[in-house]
Every structure is written in C-alpha cells, then in structure tokens.
Structure 1
C-alpha cells in the first residue's frame, strides 16, 4: 500500500504511457495529494541503446495522446529533457513532492540508473510492475536459476497467477496549485527532420485509445484463426500490438484479461487454439525480458560464447542492399521495404530477412539488430536481442545455425499468391504467381509481359542461394573445429 500524504506525488512515466492498469499512477492517487505526471527524455540513461528514429516517432505521438488524456481530467504531462536524477530533484524542490513513483524497466543500463535513484532522491521512491505478467526475478527453474528454453519457461508461467489489471476511475486527477515548468512536445525533437514517416501515420494510432481499439479488433476478427493465419504476411492475421506493449500504451495484463473476457462465460480458457497460440506469443515477450534480465550482456554478445569466434563477413554493399530491400529475393525485399515504410514487419518475414542476413550473407546478427533498432516502431531491447540471437543460432532456445531458410520456399508457402510481394515490391506486381518469388526463373516473355528487365527494374539476386547455403554450413563447420 502507498503511504497517505497530502503532499504531491510525482508519477514518472517511462514505458507505461497509459492511465489504466498503471499501478504507479494508482498508488499516487491513493496518497490523496496532488499528482504531477512527468516524462523525461534521458538518452544517456539508455546506455548504448538510445531510442532509434522510428521509436522516437511513436513516442512523440504516444506522449501527445497521454497528455490529451490527462488534460481531459484536469491534469497535464510535464515534459523535460536531461539527466533523470537532476530533473526529478528539481521537480521535488519546485513542487514540494515527497514521493516519486514509476514503473519498472528491465534493460541493464536502466536498472542500474533506477537503483541509484531509489537511494539518492531523498524522498520516497517506489517502483511497480506495469510491463510484464511475471517479473524476471520471480520465475525460476527447480534448481533456482533462470530458464533458457521457452517451453518449460512458459509451462511454469502458466502455473502462476496472472494479476488482474489495475482499474482506475479517473474523471479528474488532483492537480498541483502551480504547475512546474514544462517543455512543449516539439522541443523534445522526436520527429524526423526529413519526412520519411508519411507511411507511419497511415498505419498506426499510437496511444492508449489506439491500443484498445487494435486489441478489440484483433480479438473480434483475427484471434480465433491466429494459429493458422499468423504466418501469412499477405493477410491481417497478427495482433500488431508489439509497439503498444513496448511503450506501455497497453499492458500485458490487459491483453490477458481481454482474451479471458472473450470466453464469454464458457469457462474455457484460453477460449480457442488461436487464443492459446496468441498468448504463447505474449509468453515469448516475457521470455525475452527474462533472458535480458538474467543475461544482460546479450544485446552485444552471444549467449552461446562459442559464437564469439564465428567468421562473420563485412560487406557494406550487401548490407546496404539488404537494408534497402534490393537483394533480388522478393520476400526479403518486401519485408525490408515494409519495415522502412511502416516501421514494422510481419513476424514470419522478420525471421526470413534475419536468416538471409546472417546465413546467406553471413553478416553479423549485431548489424541486423542495429538496423531493426533504428527502423522498428516496436524496437524493444529484450525482444530484438532474442529474435536476432535465435535466428543466428547463438542464443537461448535458438534455431540451429544449420537451419537456413530458403526464401523462395518460404515465399511460396506463406505468400502463395504473391499478394505481399506485389504490395511492397510493385515492380514485380504483374509477374505470374509461379515466378513472383523467383523472378530470375521466369521466361523472357513472362518478364516482358510484366514489364520487368532484371538488373534494371529489379535486381538480380546478390548471392546464389545454393552457394550461400554451402558457405554458411562451411562457416559453421569451421566454428565447431575451433571450439574447445
């Protein structure tokens, strides 16, 4: 229970940009005094991982939505930039606050910063869980250590109780007599100077209202078939909730409760196989944070230490072709262009493009992780690290390195009519489906009818699949030979 006080409480918003299911805000309201909501842009506190460009775009709009919600309740969001401790101490001084509440984060640099603040602010400093179903330190193997395989991790989690979302009735929020000085949102300079974000606004509605809308839409129209449709990038079969969860526009307890409510009194939970598979994907997010918490070196180094000696290649030209969606492999290029245009990529395609980078091109997973970090609106250090180490075969519960996705077969299986490729690689739109994933195999008359000259309108493959696969397997053999 929060202590009761008539003095103001500072609620430090971070990646919990919502009013509902926000335990820090609820605890502040319970203290009876004024509530001072604040957001501090402190890039230095993120260590090597300050927000990338796409994530900054999302943050701008999510902050705007949060401020609007607060103003509807007679409050507002105080914005600041700088070292978090310095800003908070100044706010404590100017507002007379005797407590600072916030929601916990689990990145190594942030954990270290928050630990110092808890003892250094000079007032009550308390953190709460708003981001996870199960906090990393509460989930252990029978031996008392961290899990490194997903299935037993999630099986154990399912034996634990999921707390209900914290619900607040907030028609008004107690405001201080005088508001402290605040920046205006544009002063945070989160939006790009060059307007590369035009496609983002067509796809996304950041903020708590947008998150709830997307969650309800997914449960009503796509969750039942999620188990079958989630691998199909040509249909709207995924939840696309990842950026909302990352920035805390939505909490995982809210997702769990909404899925549970969809059972509508049947007593069956999860209510369908689709719901079960969907919740297991929420479980992978939990697993990612579990791993990052227990193995904080993994954003930069492989969990499997032998991969530190893997013979990665450096090829700036091929890396750039991959980044720009100009590899000559349509399913890969479609994914990379979707990423650039929308700040998001379908999960199946993320695996395909990642496999292509680390196995066909043998460019390090760190280079891929860096690119995703800058271009994804849902760039999350835990999930990004897990995904790339999984693909590279060097992480927990990873796909073996010798599992090399064939981009032609992956395209034919999961985008059988080529609708996804036609959308994002429009220069190939008129090719017949049988050649859409391998245009170099199309006869000249088919290419001519589609208006395609390979090497002019669309690139030839930058590597040969068979040769690249053989080279990747040889590299793996050399790693095994050098391992102790």
Structure 2
C-alpha cells in the first residue's frame, strides 16, 4: 500500500493544475491541510475582504475534496513560526511520512517554508516543494552576466524565448481516492477582524467553478478588445481575474493556455488583446522574480537604494483625503470609493492614484502600498510593491520621475463621458460633459456637496520635479 501523503495548501486553493496536490496524490492517498494564522495576516496588512475571500474559497475546496474522498484538516496557529511544529504533529497524528507544498515568495513566506522543510528533514520525513505560482522558477531567467533583469522588456524577451521552446502544460484534475484516511475539519464561515459585507461577497463568488466561469467570459467576450479597452474604467474591459490568481483558485498556466487558445497558439503576435493580456501575466511574473532576487523590496526598501533619500512630506490631512476619496479630483475619489466598496480598483486608476500620492502630495509610497494591501481583495506583495515603486519612480524599470499623470487629462481621456465618476460619486451625477471632471470650476453659483481640490496640480508637479531632480540625474 502506498504511503500516506500530506499536502499543505496556501494560496493554491484548487484541484486542477496544482503541482503539490497532483504530485502528492500520484504518490499515494493524500490528506490536505490548511493553516489559519490571523495574527500574521494582520501583521502583513492583509485586507479583511481578501481573507474572507480566501476562507470562502477554502470552504468551496473542502466541498470539492469531499467529493473525491480527500480529507481537509484546518489548523489555527498563533504565528507563522508555529507552522513547522503544527505540521509535524499532524504528520505524526495521521501517520504521514511526506509533505508537499508549492513555494511562496515573500521573504517571511520563504523563511517559514524553509523552517518547515528543515523540521521535516530533521524528523526523517520527506518534504517536496514545487514551482506552481509562476511559469518559471525565480532565478531561472537571468542576464548573460548571471543576474536578475532590472528592465521588464528584457525579461519579457527571454521569457517569450523560453515559452516558445517549452510552454509549461496544465496538470489534470486530481483523481478521487478509495478511502478517506481521516476525518475532515469544518471550515469557519468567518473570522473576527476578517469579514466582508454581503454586497462584497456577491461581487466575488468563490470557488474553481466561479473562476473558470469568469475566465471563459473574459476569453469569449472581452479579450479581443482588451488592448483597446483595458485602460477604460467606465467599461468592463479587464479580466477581473486577479483575485482568483492571488488566491490560487486559478493558475497562471490556465490563464496562459486560455489566451493561447484564443490566439491560435501565438504568444507575441496575432490578436492584440490576447498578446496584451499575456504581457500583463508576464509583468506579474517579473515582479515575483524581483521579490526573490532583490529581497530588500520585501523589507520596505526602495528597489533603487539612492531613492531611499527622497524627502517625503509628512501630510496627515492630505493622506487622509486621499485615503477616503476627498481630494477634489473626481477620477481619484471615484477610484478610491470603488476600492473601499468592492475591494478592487481598476489598474489604470491604481497607477493614477499612486502617482498623485507620491508626486503631487509627495507622500511616501509605503503609505499607499500599505493602504492598498489593507483593502485589496487581490492584494499581492510583489505586484502591489512593484506597481507602487514604478509609480513613485523608486523601483525597477520605474516611470521616469518627470512622468507625472495629470488626473484631469487622464479622466477626460479614459472616462470621457464621466460614467465611471457618476457611478461612484452620485453627488456629481447631474453634471455633464467636461463639468464632471472639474466640478468646482464648472458651476461656481450652484452649491455642490463635493470638496475643492486639495492641491494645485501645476505647483505640486513642479515641486515634485525639483525634489527628484535634487537627488541627481540618476533619479
């Protein structure tokens, strides 16, 4: 009889194309385990809506595992440092000699996983780890000098070459087993401090079936126009799959193969929408490789060390206005209200909001990075950090410091009729045309319950240019 295998799932809550789960099941009967660690989630600023979504996906996975006669054990630990002992005790309890899990890439996650592997090795048990979150193992795509790329376009070029050479396949759904080796644990319906509203839950249905349904909708109805529509917050022009990717309810390989199917097998030519979306998947890949190869970005440091010298302003009133959608710039305030209400913000507006905070307000990017993580259902350390440092001109392949998005011109360009603004700022619903982009200037004689702009864009742009220029031309 094959030995019992223990599979530890984290942000990989699916039965299909799951390397750790598939390999564990191939080696024998399997028991799945998940750890609850609210203290660490709070320390990492994980959003309540994100962890509520994770818990709902865990409940969906439990149901799917039951149908395959695979037990799910759910353990709560005080801190991640308690994971090694908790997992080893469970292995002793069920009589398992082997642990399987997919690698995660934040610095604390790597330390935790290394400690788990070392604990199992000392106990004489096997521990098998897999690259699952990514198409390529971090550190496998390097420059000719043997270092990690710092420029995305160069990274993408090599990634395309490797994908043409060998495209990673999707593993099949795991098979059922004859007899459950132990009983399953119940999945909590909610945890204190990690609750989402009913309206938020309705926006984000949980489970593999829901993720597959959204992927199919995107491929069939949206992807063809993705390149042209993805910057428009007033239309449903993006995949909205990021929450499912972050929670591992959907794999990056499933997304890639779906795009290739739509594009007759082409990576970098053919349908513009498919090519553009594959490009976004590779940006996600790039930032996770950066996280591993340059761990200082996990320690709240600027990727470019010289940018730690930026003299950020202490402006609590400005930060609070930005956080709560009261800047007086409708596109920014609508974006923030979308985030607070739904746990998600359109990607174009994430960049615009980040540039306003770091350039026009000259507030430290780390304040915004943390705020986003505290509210995003798709909060991902690598992507969130990468995006913020790009916008703040402190990161790898960053926007030049003199590139500062103007929220008024961006609003007129990407929400031309004001439909997005009108959806989230009902107090401006009566304004039409260009009025809605600059409401105070639009109607001086009629009172509008909307704040005046908190800064002068021209003056604050000049202040940012002078501040960054003072650091030297390298900025």
Please indicate, yes or no, whether the TM-score normalized by the shorter chain is above 0.5: yes
Cα separation, 2, equivalents of 1:411 and 1:205: 30
> Is the contact made by 2:352 and 2:405 (CA closer than 8 Å) also made in structure 1?
yes
Q: Give the structure 2 partner of residue 110 of structure 1.
A: 109
Q: Give the structure 1 partner of residue 288 of structure 2.
A: 289
Q: Give the structure 1 partner of residue 297 of structure 2.
A: 298
Q: Give the structure 1 partner of residue 182 of structure 2.
A: 178
Q: Give the structure 2 partner of residue 472 of structure 1.
A: 464
Question: Are 2:42 and 1:40 aligned?
Answer: no
Cα separation, 1, equivalents of 2:418 and 2:4: 58
Cα separation, 2, equivalents of 1:424 and 1:439: 15
3-state SS of the aligned residue for 2:31?
strand
Q: Give the structure 2 partner of residue 166 of structure 1.
A: 171
Cα separation, 1, equivalents of 2:294 and 2:248: 23
Q: Give the structure 2 partner of residue 255 of structure 1.
A: 255
Q: Give the structure 2 partner of residue 383 of structure 1.
A: 383
> Is the contact made by 2:71 and 2:180 (CA closer than 8 Å) also made in structure 1?
no
> 1:260-308 CA deviation, whole Å, 9 max, x = no partner?
2224xx5655551110000000000000101101111113010111111
Cα separation, 2, equivalents of 1:258 and 1:173: 29
> 1:205-235 CA deviation, whole Å, 9 max, x = no partner?
1221111111110000110111110000000
The total of aligned residue pairs comes to 463
Cα separation, 2, equivalents of 1:30 and 1:49: 34
Deviates more, 1:381-390 or 1:472-481: 472-481
3-state SS of the aligned residue for 1:297?
helix
Cα separation, 2, equivalents of 1:162 and 1:319: 45
Q: Give the structure 1 partner of residue 158 of structure 2.
A: 156
Cα separation, 2, equivalents of 1:138 and 1:328: 46
Question: Are 2:9 and 1:13 aligned?
Answer: yes
> Is the contact made by 1:56 and 1:190 (CA closer than 8 Å) also made in structure 2?
no
3-state SS of the aligned residue for 1:298?
helix
> 1:312-371 CA deviation, whole Å, 9 max, x = no partner?
011112111111111100000011000000000000010111111111111100000000
> Is the contact made by 2:313 and 2:364 (CA closer than 8 Å) also made in structure 1?
yes
TM-score by length of 1: 0.91
- Structure 1 spans left out of the alignment, 5+ residues: none
Per-residue deviation at 1:120?
1.2
Cα separation, 1, equivalents of 2:349 and 2:55: 27
Equivalent residues in 2 for 1:77-96 (5 A)?
Answer: 77-82=72-77, 83-96=82-95
Equivalent residues in 2 for 1:396-435 (5 A)?
Answer: 396-435=396-435
3-state SS of the aligned residue for 1:394?
coil
> 1:73-127 CA deviation, whole Å, 9 max, x = no partner?
2234211111211210111111000111011111111112211221212211111
3-state SS of the aligned residue for 2:295?
coil
> 1:369-399 CA deviation, whole Å, 9 max, x = no partner?
0000110000000001100000000100000
Compared CA separation, residues 184 and 221, structure 1 to 2 (3 A) = closer
> Is the contact made by 1:35 and 1:174 (CA closer than 8 Å) also made in structure 2?
no
> Is the contact made by 2:47 and 2:194 (CA closer than 8 Å) also made in structure 1?
no
Cα separation, 1, equivalents of 2:265 and 2:317: 56
Question: Are 2:217 and 1:206 aligned?
Answer: no
Compared CA separation, residues 340 and 58, structure 1 to 2 (3 A) = same
Cα separation, 1, equivalents of 2:38 and 2:470: 40
Per-residue deviation at 1:149?
0.4
Cα separation, 2, equivalents of 1:428 and 1:50: 33
Equivalent residues in 2 for 1:59-458 (5 A)?
Answer: 59-82=54-77, 83-121=82-120, 122=123, 123-160=125-162, 161-170=166-175, 172-179=176-183, 182=185, 184-186=187-189, 188-189=191-192, 191-192=194-195, 197-263=197-263, 266=264, 268-269=266-267, 271-299=270-298, 300-444=300-444, 448=446, 453-454=447-448, 457-458=449-450
> Is the contact made by 2:288 and 2:382 (CA closer than 8 Å) also made in structure 1?
yes
> Is the contact made by 1:222 and 1:237 (CA closer than 8 Å) also made in structure 2?
yes
> Is the contact made by 1:42 and 1:84 (CA closer than 8 Å) also made in structure 2?
no
> Is the contact made by 1:311 and 1:479 (CA closer than 8 Å) also made in structure 2?
no
Per-residue deviation at 1:477?
2.7
Compared CA separation, residues 199 and 361, structure 1 to 2 (3 A) = farther
TM-score by length of 2: 0.93
